[in-house]
């Protein structure tokens, strides 16, 4: 029972397997060369309630609370038994235990000792001790603990094992495969890996992940988020990992953590990942209440992020103006931020039809980019695109189209003509061509944009359909039926 080892590490297995009788092992390890059956959690909640009833005499009275406790401990049988025994003999009432389990999870702080018999051994210990002894992460080697520490942030739905290995800069998959063989890491479909929710909680408590001891993971994620012109197919898993980091990591390096949050937010904004954006805004606001943390630029950036997340344009303008005001003196260090703030304020003025104010701030932003040699940066792409659209709205469409044509050549030469940036510019050029009546050229640009979106969002068909509908609406607003014919042919 509980034969948690691997075939290559155990010297007695080969001897035992030669016995002339049938052997049955229970183990969390994987033995691929032997007949095996996976035993998962008990699926029926009624069965788990019955288990709880064996140890807690008031189980029927508190059934609804026990059901929530079962969900909170992920239907893990031993955890259900421990919780029930704790309710029978401990000081905590059912609702108190539920709240503590939700908040503290496997690090439950309860001094009452629980006596159980497991694997033929009788033992009295706290809930925490029983759970952590069961998984024994402390027995893993140092490199294995490092991987478990970072795996604790991966969503329980899984991430590609190769992608995760890349995040940790691993030279091979050996240690990950060892942890899979030992049963600590689960394999999912499509070569994905994850931790069982219970092991994930134990890993966070046991390995104590922090900004410093997880710096390789955070640096990799931060670098990904800084590649604004590139798209990744696993962006949802990326953002879920960032969310878990915000929720669970120990912030022992506030400067590095602040940069991590500030670089993650715009990439989430690009994909419209609102839950992550809200979480980062809350975290940044909490951190920057402390005047010893961050700088004026950090506080201006927080106002900019809040404006980007604000649904009411007038309130967003107020926040953006506050951000611009904070940067009282533009220097080489803050020029890119100042340019972005003016561009964003210009975009908000455009939304509210204050076109002259919009033009003034957009031109200020572009001037700062040129003045400080920042025009090749990714940030110039949305700025020039928005400025071109504004010129079109103000009756200067040919100037706007010329600016976008230059920009598309720069993107093609410096990045790629199948990037998201290139698609955005193509779509903007299509809109301008349609507004001046050049329907055929508009259709060419829209086709180029949609072809890129179909490559980038191959795994997200609903996003592709949304783009098609947006383009169709553009044609409809222009009173042109060609868009419908083209989209029908495309479908």
Query: Are 221 and 241 contacting, i.e. CB atoms less than 8 angstroms apart?
Result: yes
pLDDT of residue 54: 93
Rounded to 10 deg, the angle between the 461-477 and 439-456 helix axes is: 170
pLDDT of residue 130: 73
Structure confidence by residue, pLDDT tens digits, 193-212:
999 898 899 899 989 999 99
pLDDT tops 60 at residue 483? no
Structure confidence by residue, pLDDT tens digits, 364-408:
999 998 898 887 677 788 888 889 989 988 888 888 898 888 888
Which range has the worst mean pLDDT, 1-15, 213-227, 267-281, 382-396? 1-15
Banded pLDDT at 8 (limits 50, 70, 90): low
Q: What are phi and psi of 210, to 5 degrees?
A: -135, 170
Bigger pLDDT: 401 vs 411: 401
Structure confidence by residue, pLDDT tens digits, 43-60:
888 999 999 999 999 999
pLDDT of residue 480: 55
Structure confidence by residue, pLDDT tens digits, 147-200:
999 999 999 999 999 999 999 999 999 999 999 988 889 998 888 999 989 889
Supply the mean pLDDT for the chain: 88
Cα→Cα distances 265→239, 296, 365, 426, Å: 10, 18, 21, 25
**Model pTM?**
0.75
């Amino acid at each position: 029972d509980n034969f948690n080892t691997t075939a290559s590490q155990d010297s007695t297995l080969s001897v035992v397997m030669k016995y002339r009788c049938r052997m049955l092992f229970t183990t969390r390890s994987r033995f691929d060369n032997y007949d095996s059956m996976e035993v998962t959690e008990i699926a029926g909640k009624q069965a788990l309630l019955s288990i709880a009833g064996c140890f807690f005499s008031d189980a029927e009275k508190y059934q609804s609370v026990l059901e929530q406790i079962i969900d909170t401990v992920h239907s893990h049988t031993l955890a259900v038994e421990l919780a029930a025994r704790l309710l029978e003999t401990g000081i905590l009432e059912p609702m108190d235990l539920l709240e503590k389990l939700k908040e503290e999870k496997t690090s439950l702080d309860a001094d009452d000792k629980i006596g159980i018999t497991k694997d033929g051994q009788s033992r009295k210990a706290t809930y925490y001790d029983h759970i952590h002894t069961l998984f024994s992460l402390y027995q893993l080697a140092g490199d294995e603990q490092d991987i478990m520490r970072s795996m604790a942030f991966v969503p329980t739905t899984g991430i590609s094992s190769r992608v995760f290995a890349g995040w940790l800069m691993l030279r091979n998959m050996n240690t990950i495969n060892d942890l899979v063989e030992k049963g600590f890491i689960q394999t999912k479909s499509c070569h994905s890996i994850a931790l069982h929710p219970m092991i994930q909680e134990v890993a966070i408590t046991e390995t104590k992940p922090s900004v410093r001891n997880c710096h390789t993971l955070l640096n990799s994620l931060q670098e990904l988020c800084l590649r604004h012109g590139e798209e990744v197919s696993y962006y949802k898993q990326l953002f879920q990992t960032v969310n878990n980091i915000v929720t669970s990591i120990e912030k022992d390096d506030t400067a590095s953590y602040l940069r991590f949050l500030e670089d993650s937010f715009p990439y989430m904004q690009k994909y419209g990942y609102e839950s992550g954006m809200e979480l980062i805004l809350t975290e940044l606001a909490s951190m920057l209440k402390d005047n010893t943390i961050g700088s004026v630029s950090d506080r201006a950036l927080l106002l900019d992020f809040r404006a980007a997340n604000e649904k009411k344009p007038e309130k967003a303008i107020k926040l953006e103006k506050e951000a611009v005001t904070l940067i009282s003196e533009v220097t080489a260090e803050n020029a890119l931020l100042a340019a972005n703030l003016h561009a964003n304020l210009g975009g908000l003025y455009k939304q509210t039809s204050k076109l002259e104010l919009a033009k003034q701030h957009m031109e200020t932003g572009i001037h700062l980019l040129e003045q400080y040699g920042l025009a090749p940066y990714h940030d110039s792409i949305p700025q020039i695109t928005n400025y071109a659209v504004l010129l079109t709205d103000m009756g200067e469409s040919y100037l706007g189209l010329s600016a976008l044509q230059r920009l598309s050549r720069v993107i093609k030469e410096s990045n790629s003509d199948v990037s998201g940036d290139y698609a955005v510019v193509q779509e903007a050029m299509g809109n301008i061509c349609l507004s001046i009546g050049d329907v055929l050229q508009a259709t060419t640009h829209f086709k180029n944009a949609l072809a890129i979106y179909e490559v980038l969002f191959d795994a997200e068909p609903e996003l592709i359909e949304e783009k098609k509908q947006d383009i169709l609406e553009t044609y409809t607003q222009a009173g042109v039926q060609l868009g419908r014919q083209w989209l029908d042919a495309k479908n």
